[in-house]
Structure 1
Amino acid sequence: MTITWTTARAAAVSASALLALCGQVLAQAGEAQPKVTDPHFKIAPGYLRQSDLPNSLVLLGPPPEKGTAALARDEEARRATLPLRDSARWKLAFTDADLAFRQAAENFSCAMGVRIGAEQTPRLYAMMQKMLSDFGLSTYGVKNRYNRVRPFVVHNEATCRADQEAILRSDGSYPSGHTAAGWGWALVFAQINPERSNELLKRGLEFGQSRVICNAHWQSDVDAGRIMGAATTARLMTDPVFLADLKAAKAEVEAAKAKRADPVPDCSAEAAALSEQ
């Protein structure tokens, strides 16, 4: 995969467009909303009302403080990723950082064994976008309260996504919204395609670890993001509209599996990247 200036510029423009959409949808929601500083989240109405989302202020404690063993663990986890910079795994973290569609769907297509897209699996594709809003918004109570500084800012370094750094500087690091989305998606996907549950859950875990590898999040941000992803998934499982979409998505995936269509052309490259430690 070649990362060009054109690609990075397009992503930056896309982020600006998403930010504009974000404001429109928040206004349409008609209820108090958290301050959302990452334009990837709330780009479409989610399944859940704000009052029905799990409360991160109840479920999570504060981020690690200076001089604690927890912060030392964060630093150790960060140092462990240094050899991966500019590797194939680093480049995969670059793609994982893109929550815009269709890329967000393609990030999980290899693990699903079916290409997730607007044409082949339209119901599942739309579900992903709606769930993204719920997963992302679930993190903002704690994000806004603590506004934790990200590791690339603390260490005056770069991330794997130079085009996103301006947004990340003003968006709290703890918990990781990307991780909440990735883990929540994986939990739902494992129900849709249980035969691929191990691959899907592994991909969900690695999706979160991409945030540490990218130097955009601390390990404790990722750990907390997984808690919020799981909590939001549990709440989604009580929503009748979501459950109807879940049933339809299962049928879509079964039909796609029966056609034996190839998911995406570079699954071997993804597998090789994920094998790097």
Structure 2
Amino acid sequence: MPLRLLAPAGVLLLVACTSAPPPAATAVAAPEQPVPEIRPGRLAGYLAAAAIPDSLVLVPAPPAAGSATLAQDHAVMRAALALRGTPRFEQAIRDADLDFPFAAGSFACALGVGIDAQRTPATYRLLRRTLADAAVSTRTAKEQYQRPRPFVENGEPTCTPEDEQALRGNGSYPSGHTAIGWAWALVLAQAVPERTDALLARGRSFGDSRLVCNVHWQSDVLQGRFMGSGTVARLQSDPAFRADVAAATVELAAAREQGLAPDRDCAAEAVALAEPLPGAL
């Protein structure tokens, strides 16, 4: 697999329950234990396979033919196709890239600080490991339903043509990219709660980029958010995850004090993300 619904009240509840960091004076940096790679460049997650929320159990079947939900999926698809060639489309290309170190900067503008392996190692590790957990959470439903992606139906190109062959054989529902982006938004909001609104907005736009890319349906994205939320809820009981969040809280505060700037053009990103996507939920 190439890697590049939660109601608002539920989001706020999850953030509220998990956002209180330990006092900076008593927080201790997480020990740097070796983390195995599940494949070259991709770290293992925090959770054992049996502990990861199961999308086949948790999400409904994809929208049925003739349903209002499927009609909504098609309406949003048409609106998203109209964004080709705009700054929003260019942002969607960037959001498709889940490879590190580039992906570490995906939320830097929303966070207000840069993230890299040298100066913010715990945060960098946190993003890499939660990526694996969130991605796996969508796998069983993807494999069961094998929902064709929008570009397969409409014949229009995507924002990552190099991935299209692989995507044809990978189920669209629910969206793994969205689960990852939403999990990152929640985890970073836990570490830096004063940036919660900006981070959640960025998490939503990260998933919406999959609509703009013509590789996911609206319902894929909504259920991807749900699985991202469930994964982060389950992570709260993992000691290594909690240690990395505590360490990230301390190092991100220090990075802000040191003026560690985002590595992205935040003004251009803001312009791109201001582009409306009619009908998106």
In the superposition, the TM-score normalised over structure 2's length comes to 0.83
Matched AA of 2:156: E
Percent identical pairs in the alignment equals: 49
How far apart in 2 are the matches of 1:265 and 1:223? 27
1:35-184 to 2 correspondence within 5 Å? 43-184=42-183
Cα displacement (A) at 1:139 = 0.4
> In the aligned structure 2, how far is the partner of 1:167 from the partner of 1:110?
31
Aligned equivalents of 1:155, 1:266: Cα separation in 2:
33
> How far apart, CA to CA, are the structure 1 residues paired with 2:260 and 2:177?
28
Corresponding residue of 1:262: 261
Deviations 1:204-262 (A, max 9, x none): 00000000011010000000000000000000011111001110010010100111222
**Which has more helix, going by share of residues?**
1
Q: Does 1:224 align with 2:223?
A: yes
Q: Which residue of 2 aligns with 1:36?
A: none
Say which SS state the counterpart of residue 25 (structure 1) adopts.
strand
CA drift of 1:265 comes to 4.6
* CA distance in 1 between partners of 2:86 and 2:119 (Å): 32
Post-superposition offset of 1:82:
2.4
From the superposition, tell whether residues 149 and 200 of structure 1 become closer, same or farther in structure 2 (CA, over 3 Å): same
Q: Give the drift of 1:141.
A: 0.8
Instruction: State how far apart, in whole Å, the 1-side matches of 2:155 and 2:124 are.
Output: 37
Q: Where does residue 241 of structure 1 map in the other structure? A: 240
**Is 1:189 equivalent to 2:188 in the alignment?**
yes
Distance 1:119 1:77 in 2: 40
Q: Look up the SS of the partner of 1:67 in the other structure.
A: coil
- Tell me if the contact between 2:211 and 2:217 (Cα under 8 Å) persists in the aligned partners: yes
2:214 aligned with 1:215: yes
What pairs with 1:10-49 in structure 2 (closer than 5 Å)? 25=38, 43-49=42-48
- The residue identity in structure 2 corresponding to 1:91 is E
Aligned amino acid, residue 218 of structure 2: Q
CA distance in 2, matches of 1:101, 1:233: 21
Q: 1:48-67, CA deviations, whole angstroms, 9 ceiling, x for partnerless residues?
A: 00100111112101111221
Q: Secondary structure in 1 aligned to 2:38?
A: helix
Contact 2:134 2:227 in 1 (8 A): yes
CA deviation string 1:102-125 (max 9, x = no partner) = 121111111111101112211110
Q: Partners in 1 of 2:99 and 2:54 — Cα distance?
A: 25
RMSD in angstroms over aligned alpha carbons?
1.7
Q: How many residues of Structure 1 are paired with residues of Structure 2 in the alignment?
A: 243
Structure 1 spans left out of the alignment, 5+ residues:
1-11, 16-23, 27-38
Alpha carbons 2:81, 2:214 under 8 Å: kept: no
Structure 1 residues 80 and 265: CA distance shift in structure 2, 3 A? closer
Q: CA deviation at 1:25?
A: 2.5
- When normalised by structure 1's length, the TM-score is 0.84
Distance 2:210 2:193 in 1: 26
Q: Deviations over 1:12-50 (max 9, x none)?
A: 9x99xxxxxxxx838xxxxxxxxxxxx99xx32110001
* Stretches of 4+ aligned residues off by more than 2 angstroms: none
- 1:30 is aligned to none
In structure 1, distance between residues paired with 2:217 and 2:209 = 11
Deviation at 1:80, TM superposition (A): 1.5
Contact between 2:44 and 2:129, CA under 8 Å: does it hold in 1? yes
Contact 2:109/2:264, CA 8 A, preserved across alignment: no
Deviation at 1:148, TM superposition (A): 0.4
- Given that residues 105 and 264 in structure 2 are in contact (C-alpha distance below 8 angstroms), is that contact kept between their aligned partners in structure 1? no
Corresponding residue for residue 200 of structure 2: 201
Q: Higher relative contact order at CA 8 Å, sep ≥6: structure 1 or structure 2?
A: 2
TM-superposed CA distance for 1:177, in Å, is 0.2
